[in-house]
């Protein structure tokens, strides 16, 4: 049992080193000119407008369309949703109702080298008019023809939302990726009539963006509630791609890029590099201070701080599969630095508690056990308040459809929307940094310190903050 306890330090230490290396460098394979990214590193981080600049584009409806304010608001909501679905969290969307135009500003894609605004605009996806048509008849150019051209079942204004999902496997069958479609009130009746007509013959309802057919699912059931499921040979990526295209095209009219230009960064990469360098130097100095003052607990805490920093970077780059990549702004870097400060505070509290327990006459192992137990409540209280603040910031300044905005909707429904990507980025990095503090500061450091104390050469109370005459 004691030997297994000793091994714990090396296992946790190796995992932290592995996390730090892969979070920074990533893991990828290359076959010729094709690179397959297995684990995303810092090169996969999308930097905000303040650091790398971006694109300013103005979208307008067709010249022969007189858009209402409600239609312009609907178009604005679709564009915002499209930005969120692409993990573009540092963006600005303004609607000029008087002149029927929507102004969108968003940062360059990660790894961008050409800085071509036209290519950047394409990343937002198709902004063409969405239609659902009977059948899938096309002419030689791929345009709809016959019944498909004349019988339009739904338009973008009838679609409320689309999202990728997964069905649970039944009767031994494996789960399938699908696209879940929800219609608004205007589309429910029209869709009910169409599915009642086509379901007996297993007919087709094709989905189009302008004159490009993007899908043509068969109708299997009469759907009356406006909730439909599009199934097929989807994987996770293709299901999400179709859902994004439907959301992007769920407009009452087609939008065109009237004009566009590049945006210069307000601060620039030099400011980012300076802040990262300052943060690295500060982390190094703090680690040296903790090792000098708190000795072995300080050394273990320094390892945990490296793990906390690596974990925060991983949560931003898309390293962890459930969490997508995130747009990182300069305030976002400040959030990481502040969270590291919270981590230092947690480790200082714990080290002081261990010293107090040693002075009361307890053994090293007992002092470590009791020290972490006594420190937990103070650390928990301090960190949970920061978590609450971070959630409020993300709910107040993030996309309206985000999880925290939805959670806090009863409060913020009385205030106008205030999407500010830089503050949203700050709240996100602060949140993940503090959560990693719990994992590393209270979990990994405790396991490592309890493990290393089992080595005979590390059994002296002086190494843990006690006095030499207390041996």
Query: Shortest CA distance to 366 belongs to which of 357, 379, 374, 355?
Result: 357
Convert the pLDDT of each residue in 220-271 to its tens digit.
889 888 888 887 777 777 777 777 777 766 666 777 888 888 888 877 667 7
pLDDT at 67: 83
- What domains sit in the chain, N to C, each tagged with a CATH number? 2-29+267-465 (1.20.1640.10), 128-250 (3.30.1360.200)
Convert the pLDDT of each residue in 146-198 to its tens digit.
999 999 998 877 888 888 888 765 555 567 888 888 888 888 989 999 999 99
The token pair at 448 is 């490592």
pLDDT at 1: 44
Convert the pLDDT of each residue in 88-131 to its tens digit.
778 888 889 998 899 998 888 877 777 778 777 876 655 557 78
DSSP-assigned states of every residue in 171-199: TTPPP-EEEEEEE-HHHHHHHHHHHHHHG
CA 80 to chain centre: 15
Query: Average pLDDT in the 431-445 region?
Result: 91
Query: Shortest CA distance to 351 belongs to which of 310, 305, 411, 290?
Result: 290
Is pLDDT of 2 > 70?
no
Query: Shortest CA distance to 184 belongs to which of 152, 154, 160, 207?
Result: 160
């Amino acid at each position: 049992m004691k030997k297994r306890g000793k091994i714990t330090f090396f296992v946790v230490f190796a995992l932290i080193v592995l996390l730090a290396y892969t979070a920074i460098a990533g893991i990828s394979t290359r076959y010729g000119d094709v690179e397959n990214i297995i684990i995303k590193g810092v090169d996969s981080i999308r930097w905000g407008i303040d650091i790398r600049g971006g694109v300013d584009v103005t979208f307008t409806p067709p010249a022969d369309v007189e858009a209402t304010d409600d239609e312009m608001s609907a178009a604005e909501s679709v564009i915002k949703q499209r930005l969120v679905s692409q993990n573009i969290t540092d963006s600005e969307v303004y609607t000029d109702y008087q002149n029927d135009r929507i102004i969108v500003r968003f940062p360059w894609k990660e790894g961008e080298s050409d800085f071509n605004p036209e290519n950047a605009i394409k990343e937002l996806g198709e902004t063409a008019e969405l239609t659902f048509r009977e059948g899938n008849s096309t002419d030689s150019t791929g345009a709809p023809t016959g019944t498909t051209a004349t019988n339009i079942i739904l338009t973008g204004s009838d679609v409320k939302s689309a999202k990728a999902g997964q069905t649970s496997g039944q009767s031994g069958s494996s789960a399938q990726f699908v696209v879940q479609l929800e219609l608004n009130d205007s589309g429910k009746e029209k869709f009910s009539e169409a599915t009642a007509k086509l379901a007996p013959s297993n007919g087709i309802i094709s989905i189009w963006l302008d004159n490009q057919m993007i899908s043509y699912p068969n109708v299997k059931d009469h759907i009356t509630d406006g909730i439909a499921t599009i199934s097929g040979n989807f994987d996770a990526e293709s299901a999400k791609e179709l859902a994004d295209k439907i959301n992007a095209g769920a407009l009452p009219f087609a939008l065109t890029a009237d004009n566009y230009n590049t945006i210069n960064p307000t601060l620039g990469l030099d400011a980012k590099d300076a802040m990262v360098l300052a943060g690295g130097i500060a982390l190094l100095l703090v680690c040296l201070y903790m090792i000098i003052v708190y000795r072995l607990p300080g050394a273990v805490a320094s390892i945990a701080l490296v793990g906390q920093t690596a974990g925060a970077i991983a949560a931003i780059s898309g390293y962890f599969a459930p969490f997508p990549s995130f747009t990182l702004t300069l305030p976002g870097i400040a959030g990481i630095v502040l969270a590291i400060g919270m981590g230092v505070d947690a480790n200082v509290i714990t080290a002081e508690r261990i010293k107090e327990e040693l002075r009361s006459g307890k053994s090293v192992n007992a002092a470590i056990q009791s020290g972490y137990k006594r420190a937990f409540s103070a650390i928990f209280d301090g960190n949970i308040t920061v978590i609450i603040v971070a959630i409020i910031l993300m709910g107040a300044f993030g996309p309206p459809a985000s999880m925290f905005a939805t959670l806090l909707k009863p409060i913020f429904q009385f205030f106008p929307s205030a999407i500010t990507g830089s503050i949203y980025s700050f709240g996100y990095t602060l949140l993940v940094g503090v959560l990693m503090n719990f994992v590393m500061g209270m979990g990994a450091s405790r396991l490592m310190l309890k493990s290393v104390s089992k080595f005979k050469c590390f059994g002296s109370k002086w190494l843990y903050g006690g006095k030499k005459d207390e041996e």
